[in-house]
């Protein structure tokens, strides 16, 4: 056995003095007899070593986290600076948009949507022409490629400024011209311009939408446009346009050719004073003069585009009470064809039925009249072609038809059904031009044309 002193010293040793009694009782202390017969006590101490390696690892992790926090804080500072720049740019952009929206020269999203719609229609037209002609000509592939390119340009330039819009419309007009040529080859074979060796209108082509009016405003829904039906030499390509936001007109703009019309670059503007203000929208240009309706006094008026001189003639029988169905004040409707110059109106004597009158261009007077059997107020509009008056009416929101014809050569009238599509529901001006055998329509602020196909048989 171990001497008593040795046991006491062992018990008082710092290494074991603090061990709980429970550890002793639970077998943390054991004894054995050595080789010399002495008593040996075995004490198993708990793991009380301080985890210095773990603390060091945590310190290193903490340092890494602090570095990352500093990096993210620096990024936040940078983002804050960029955000201030973006906010300033956004404010500047808001101001630019406000200025653009308030400008009379501004354009609207409808322009680009219209371009997309028209491009899709042209793509369908190319496919239709290719199928109807059963042709695999490279021209169709070329046109299809141009349509795809124009679609990409529209998408890219939608957010650009006004000058780019004019550029795309110019390119669009050139593409449209090619498509019209293809359509003419399919719809009209060798048109006999200036002659009337046919039995009347056979069909009207699909509408060709040129563009929104020169004011670039859909509110200018009343007006007219087209070409001189009897142009002076050197003015064969001239176009005219006049419109307002009421059934009236205060000015007529002249464009030297089709490209200038598209670019809205007028070479001359005739402003109308209050004493010569135009009323109604069924005016035309014929022989370098604008013929339009004037209400004080109620008369047909002539404006010479060269001298800017005015003249007027009162038609005693004409009434200001009867108008076309689409809008008010469309009382005197002027038209020109291969035969000459005409005016259509209704009178109290005819009880609202249309009267057709031939105008003597030299005397600016009425030389002949015909009473027809169609009521003016049920008609959408009317025009003359080869001495025959054709009257239109609405079929539904998207379609119109020529339903009546009166032949001045025979005095006969006919009920017809020649349908054609409208671009939009209402229009204020429709007239035929004998120089290219086209119908010119001013449809709710847009320039629209149609090819006219005559029955050669």
User: What integer pLDDT is reported at residue 249 of this predicted model?
Assistant: 87
Lowest pLDDT segment from 65-74, 252-261, 426-435: 65-74
Over residues 311-325, the pLDDT tens digits come to 999 999 999 999 999
Distance CA 279, CA 283 (A): 9
Name the pLDDT band for 126 (thresholds 50, 70, 90).
low
The dihedrals phi and psi of 64, each to the nearest 5 degrees, come to -60, -40
Over residues 212-224, the pLDDT tens digits come to 999 988 899 999 9
Locate 57 and state its tokens. 């690892």
Lowest pLDDT segment from 104-113, 160-169, 375-384, 414-423: 104-113
* Range list of β-strands (E), 159-235: 201-204, 208-212, 222-227
Distance CA 292, CA 289 (A): 10
Dihedral of CA 104/109/110/116: which sign?
positive
pTM score: 0.63
User: What integer pLDDT is reported at residue 12 of this predicted model?
Assistant: 42
* Mutual angle of helices 109-133 and 138-157, in 10-degree steps: 170
Q: Within 10 Å of residue 302's Cβ, how many Cβ atoms? A: 21
CATH assignment, 194-454: 2.120.10
- Domains of the chain, by residue range, sit at 4-43, 109-176, 194-454
Over residues 235-292, the pLDDT tens digits come to 999 999 999 989 888 999 999 999 999 999 999 999 999 889 999 999 999 999 999 9
Contact 447, 211 (CB under 8 A): yes
User: What integer pLDDT is reported at residue 23 of this predicted model?
Assistant: 47
DSSP class of 347: B
Distance CA 71, CA 77 (A): 10
User: What integer pLDDT is reported at residue 25 of this predicted model?
Assistant: 45
Radius of gyration in angstroms for the set of CA atoms belonging to the chain, rounded to a whole number:
44
- What is the average per-residue pLDDT within 81-106? 52
User: What integer pLDDT is reported at residue 13 of this predicted model?
Assistant: 45
Distances (CA, A) of 89 to 82, 86, 219, 343: 10, 5, 32, 58
Q: Is the pLDDT of residue 97 over 60?
A: no
Q: Which residue has the tokens 């021209």?
A: 139
Higher pLDDT, 373 or 194: 373
Dihedral of CA 150/260/251/283: which sign?
negative
User: What integer pLDDT is reported at residue 127 of this predicted model?
Assistant: 66
- What is the average per-residue pLDDT within 53-76? 72
């Amino acid at each position: 056995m171990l001497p008593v002193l040795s046991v006491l010293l062992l018990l008082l040793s710092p290494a074991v003095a603090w061990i709980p009694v429970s550890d002793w009782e639970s077998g943390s202390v054991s004894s054995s007899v050595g080789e010399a017969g002495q008593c040996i006590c075995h004490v198993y101490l708990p793991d009380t070593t301080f985890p210095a390696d773990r603390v060091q690892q945590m310190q290193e992790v903490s340092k890494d986290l602090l570095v990352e926090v500093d990096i993210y804080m620096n990024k936040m500072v940078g983002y804050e600076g960029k955000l201030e720049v973006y906010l300033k740019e956004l404010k500047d952009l808001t101001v630019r948009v406000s200025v653009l929206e308030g400008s009379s020269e501004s354009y609207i999203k409808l322009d680009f949507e219209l371009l997309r719609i028209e491009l899709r229609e042209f793509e369908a037209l190319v496919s239709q022409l290719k199928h109807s002609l059963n042709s695999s000509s490279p021209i169709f592939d070329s046109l299809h490629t141009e349509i795809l390119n124009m679609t990409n340009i529209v998408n890219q330039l939608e957010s650009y400024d006004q000058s780019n819009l004019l550029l795309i419309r110019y390119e669009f007009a050139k593409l449209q011209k090619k498509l019209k040529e293809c359509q003419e080859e399919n719809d009209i074979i060798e048109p006999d311009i200036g002659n009337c060796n046919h039995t009347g209108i056979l069909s009207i082509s699909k509408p060709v939408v040129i563009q929104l009016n020169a004011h670039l405003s859909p509110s200018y829904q009343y007006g007219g446009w087209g070409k001189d039906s009897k142009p002076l030499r050197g003015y064969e390509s001239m176009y005219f346009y006049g419109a307002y936001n009421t059934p009236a007109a205060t000015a007529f703009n002249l464009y030297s050719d089709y490209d200038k019309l598209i670019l809205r670059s007028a070479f001359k503007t005739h402003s109308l004073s209050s004493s010569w203000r135009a009323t109604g929208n069924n005016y035309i240009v014929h022989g370098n003069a604008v013929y339009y309706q004037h209400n004080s006094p109620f008369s047909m008026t002539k404006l010479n585009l060269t001298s800017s001189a005015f003249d007027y003639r009162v038609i005693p029988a004409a009434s200001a009470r009867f108008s076309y169905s689409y809008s008010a004040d469309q009382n005197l409707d002027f038209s020109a064809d291969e035969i000459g110059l005409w005016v259509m109106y209704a009178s109290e004597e005819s009880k609202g039925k249309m009267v057709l009158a031939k105008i003597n261009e030299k005397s600016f007077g009425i030389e002949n009249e015909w009473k027809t059997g169609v009521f003016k107020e049920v008609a959408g509009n009317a025009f003359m072609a080869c001495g025959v008056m054709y009257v239109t009416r609405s079929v539904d929101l998207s379609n119109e038809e020529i339903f009546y014809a009166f032949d001045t050569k025979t005095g006969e009238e006919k009920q017809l059904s020649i349908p054609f599509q409208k671009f939009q529901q209402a229009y204020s001006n429709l007239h035929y031009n004998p120089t290219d055998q086209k119908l010119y329509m001013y449809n709710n602020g847009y320039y629209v044309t149609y090819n006219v196909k005559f029955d050669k048989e």
